[in-house]
Structures are given as C-alpha cells and as structure tokens.
C-alpha cells in the first residue's frame, strides 16, 4: 500500500498518526492529497462552519527585557519606540472595543524591566471592572513565567489571583518551537518548553481554556515541528483544555533573525502544508485557526479548505505582525470577515472566545450554544 493510502486509512478510521507519518506528510505527500485529508478531518469536526469573533488587541507595553531574535515588536527601556500605556489609554481602548460590540480583548505585551507584578494585575482588574462583558484573553505563558520570577510565587497562585480579577483565558503565544535545539537559538532566556506546557496545564486545571501556537518558517526542521505538535497533543490528551491551535508564519522584516539569516516569509505552499499537517496531527484539538493578519486574506481563505475552521477576528490595533512587515489591513469589519468566509464556500458563525455562538440583535448580543466541538463522523 502506498504510504499516503496507509495514512488515509488511519485517518478515516480515526486512528492516531505517528511522528513518522507527520514527517512524511510534511516532506513527501502531495499537497492536494494532504489538503484533502485535512479537509476531511476539518469537516468531520466542524462541518461546513467557519468561525470568527469580534475582538480587539491591546499591547499595554512593548518594552521587554528579552531579545527574542524573531521579534520586531519589542523595544529597549530607553528606546524612543518604547511605550507604556496609561490607565486612561487602556480604559479608552477597552471602551472603544465594547462600543464596537467586541466580545474579547486579547492582551499581550513585553516584559518591562521596571514595572511590578501588580501593574499587570491592575491592567486586568481595571478593564474587567469597567467592561465586565469583555472576555479578557490575557498574557502568554512567557509572561506568566516572568510574573513568577518577579514575585517568587508559583504560577498556579498567580493564575488563580488573576482569575479572581477577571482573567478569562490564555492566548497561545510564546510557544515558538519547543525543541531546545531551536529554542535556545531564537529565545534562549524565556520560559522553556516544560515551563510553557506546565503553565497551560495549571490554567486548564483551574478551569481556564487556552490556545497554542507554533512559529514556523525560520531555522527549524520538519522534525522540530512535528515534535512541537506531539508535545501539544500529549498535554491535550491529559487536560482537554486547549481550544485552538494557531500556526504562525515567521515574518522577517525588522528582525535580527531575518537579517542575520537572510530569511524570507514562508511561501503559501508551506503555509497550507503546515495548516494541514497541524489539523491531522492534532486530532484532539477542536479548532485550527488561520490567523488572517499573519497569512493575509487570500491564504486564510484557502486555508479554510486545508484544515482550518477559524480565522480569528476583527483584530484592530495589531502590532506584532505589522512591526515585522505584515501588509494585511489593521482591521477587518464583520461584513468583510463574513464575506471572506462565504467566498471560500463556508458558513460563517460568530463565536465568543469560548466557542459559544454569538447571537446579536440591533442593540445587544448574547451567547448561545457551544458550537461544533468534535462533531461525530457520519
Ligand atoms: O509568541 C512574534 C509570534 C506570537 C513574530 O491565542 C511572530 O488566539 C511571526 O500568539 N513573525 C504572539 N510571528 C501572537 C499570538 C497569537 C496571535 C493570534 C491569536 C492568538 C490566540 C495568539 O507572535 C509570539 C510569537 O510566536 N511572533 N514575532 C514575527 N516576526
Ligand atoms: Fe519580548 Fe515577547 Fe518579543 Fe520575546 S517575543 S522579545 S518575550 S515581546
């Protein structure tokens, strides 16, 4: 039996793919065979639906003690590019989001040399008090690890304290590539793989959901990518707390890594391959996100037939990718998001952060049923 037929049989029988299957799919499988298989799983889990949300990003500071070589967003403490938002600016952003009908605020930033732990907690607390209906998806595992280094307290306690203050869930950033052969070269100081995974485990145990990411298209090999996916699959087996996996294509502009290694952004074939392999290897993740800001709109549309079932949201005020050369717009309206999905032949559904359908009237919105988690195969 040809290798792809063997893998197809496994996928149709709902059997788990191995490390070697993953390497074959990435390096040797025909792209259209791969896409067809990923699409089969995508439709088995999520039917013809494609999800979006109404959200806004908030990066309270870009000043960062770390120097990840892929990052164009960070600034040194005394750099003219560095900023720290005031309470007023933060609350204005949250109010603007709520007025636009956002259901989610996505909050991440730098690890400031001088700001204390209490400032990060204060940010979540004041936003939650002012806008209690906004779900706060806040701080990556790298930030939680930093808070623990600042305070000497265990991350589990800090997560619980933030939960009391209004934290809703954790975004998936900071995962990069787990394998130390790569991680030690691109972000040597920040939380290692075990720490990243431990923090997500703790969050899940506290009842918080989270996402996961992988930064691809730089110095990593196929084996590093598959290793990354399998570490996530293993934790998901244990906790079931991950909602979405988001593959993130490296954008090289204004980065040390891009400059030193003369790297270009991965091409569309690599983007679609990564989306499809992720869908097939992460058999226990309900959703795979094609983040339109990172992929661009046309590739995000295609990705909806290569395993992805989500395109993220309206976004607004995105900095991390735009600082690194993304030419996507800063914002898409709800009409544009819906049209993008419909043009790709899918049925758009607005979701909140926890994948509950959002039902809107002229003046308000409410959440309805939880959508399409693991639809059973026909
Ligand atoms: O951890 C930083 C990546 C991540 C670059 O959870 C870069 O719903 C490419 O995690 N080129 C942050 N990538 C963004 C993120 C995210 C985005 C959208 C949705 C969600 C979610 C999470 O961005 C970082 C890092 O992996 N990143 N710089 C760059 N030059
Ligand atoms: Fe700092 Fe995050 Fe950029 Fe790394 S990726 S330098 S931790 S802001």
pLDDT in tens, 9-64: 999 999 999 999 999 999 999 999 999 999 999 999 999 999 999 999 999 999 99
Question: pLDDT averaged over the chain?
Answer: 95
CB count within 10 Å of CB 260 equals: 9
Mean pLDDT of 222-243: 98
What distance in Å separates the CA atoms of residue 314 and residue 230, rounded to the nearest whole number? 31
User: pLDDT tens across 288-341, in order?
Assistant: 999 999 999 999 999 999 999 999 999 988 998 899 988 898 889 999 999 999
* 378 within some domain: no
**What SS3 class is residue 68?**
coil
Contacts 24+ apart (CB under 8 A), 334-337: 334/52, 334/54, 337/52, 337/311, 337/313
What percent of the chain clears pLDDT 90, i.e. is strictly above it?
Answer: 91
* Residue 372's pLDDT band (cuts 50, 70, 90): low
Q: Which atom of ligand 2 is nearest to the CA of 67?
A: 6
Burial class (CB in 10 A: 0-12, 13-18, 19+), 182: buried
What distance in Å separates the CA atoms of residue 356 and residue 345, rounded to the nearest whole number? 22
Q: Which atom of ligand 2 is nearest to the CA of 190?
A: 7
* Residue whose C-alpha is closest to residue 3's, from 32, 36, 33: 33
* 286 within some domain: yes
More confident residue, 127 or 367: 127
User: Which CATH number does the domain housing residue 7 bear?
Assistant: 3.20.20.70
> What does DSSP assign to residue 80?
T
Report whether residue 290 contacts ligand 1, using a CB cutoff of 6 Å.
no
Q: Which structural domain, as residue segments, surrounds residue 162? A: 3-370
User: pLDDT tens across 53-111, in order?
Assistant: 999 999 999 999 999 999 999 999 999 999 999 999 999 999 999 999 999 999 999 99
| CB-based contact 19:260 (threshold 8 Å) | no
Q: Which atom of ligand 2 is nearest to the CA of 143?
A: 7
Report whether residue 141 contacts ligand 2, using a CB cutoff of 6 Å.
no
pLDDT given for residue 352 in this prediction: 96
- Given a cut of 90, is residue 365 above it in pLDDT? no
* 202 within some domain: yes
* 173 CA distance to ligand 1 middle (Å): 5
* 220 within some domain: yes
What distance in Å separates the CA atoms of residue 171 and residue 140, rounded to the nearest whole number? 6
- Given a cut of 60, is residue 378 above it in pLDDT? no
What distance in Å separates the CA atoms of residue 316 and residue 105, rounded to the nearest whole number? 10
What's the number of domains the chain is made of?
Answer: 1
Q: Tell me the best of 66, 248, 258 to mutate to test the pocket of ligand 1, counting ligand atoms within 8 Å of each CB and taking the most.
A: 248
* 261 within some domain: yes
| CB-based contact 303:275 (threshold 8 Å) | yes
| CB burial string 19-37: b at 16+ within 10 A, e below | eebbbbbbeebeeebbbeb
Enter the tokens of residue 371: 């959508």
* 377 within some domain: no
Q: Please list the residues that pair with 287 across neighbouring strands.
A: 244
- Given a cut of 60, is residue 376 above it in pLDDT? no
* 322 within some domain: yes
* 30 within some domain: yes
Enter the tokens of residue 79: 């750099």
């Amino acid at each position: 039996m040809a290798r792809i037929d063997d893998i197809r049989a496994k996928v149709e029988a709902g059997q788990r793919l191995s490390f070697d299957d993953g390497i074959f799919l990435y390096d040797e499988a025909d792209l259209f065979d791969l896409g067809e298989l990923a699409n089969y799983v995508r439709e088995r889990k999520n039917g013809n639906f494609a999800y979006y949300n109404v959200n806004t990003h908030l990066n309270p500071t870009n000043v960062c003690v770390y120097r990840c070589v892929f990052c164009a967003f960070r600034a040194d403490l005394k750099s003219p590019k560095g900023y720290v938002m005031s309470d007023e600016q933060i609350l204005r952003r949250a109010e603007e989001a709520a007025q636009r009908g956002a259901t989610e605020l996505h909050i991440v930033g730098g690890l400031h040399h001088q700001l204390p732990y209490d400032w990060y907690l204060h940010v979540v607390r004041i936003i939650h008090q002012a806008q209690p209906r906004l779900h706060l998806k806040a701080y990556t595992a790298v930030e939680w690890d930093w808070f623990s280094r600042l305070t000497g307290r265990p991350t589990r306690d800090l997560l619980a304290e933030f939960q009391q203050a209004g934290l809703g869930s954790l975004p998936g950033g900071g995962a990069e590539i787990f394998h130390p052969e790569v991680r030690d070269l691109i972000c040597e100081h920040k939380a290692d793989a075990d720490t990243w995974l431990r923090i997500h485990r703790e969050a899940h145990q506290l009842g918080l959901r989270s996402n996961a990411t992988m930064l691809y298209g730089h110095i990593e090999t196929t084996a590093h990518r598959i290793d990354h996916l399998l570490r996530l699959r293993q934790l998901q087996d244990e906790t079931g707390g991950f909602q979405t996996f988001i593959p993130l294509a490296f954008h090289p502009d204004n980065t040390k890594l891009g400059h030193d290694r003369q790297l270009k952004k991965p091409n569309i074939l690599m983007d679609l391959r990564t989306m499809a392999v992720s869908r097939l290897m992460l058999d226990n993740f309900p959703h795979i996100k094609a983040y339109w800001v990172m992929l661009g709109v046309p590739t995000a549309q295609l990705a909806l037939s290569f395993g992805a079932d989500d395109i993220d949201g309206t976004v607004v005020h995105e900095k991390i990718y735009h600082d690194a050369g993304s030419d996507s717009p800063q914002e898409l309206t709800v009409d544009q998001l819906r049209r993008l999905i419909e043009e790709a032949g899918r049925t758009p559904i607005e979701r909140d952060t926890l994948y509950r359908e959002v039902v809107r009237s002229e003046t308000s919105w409410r959440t309805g049923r939880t959508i399409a988690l693991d639809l059973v195969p026909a």
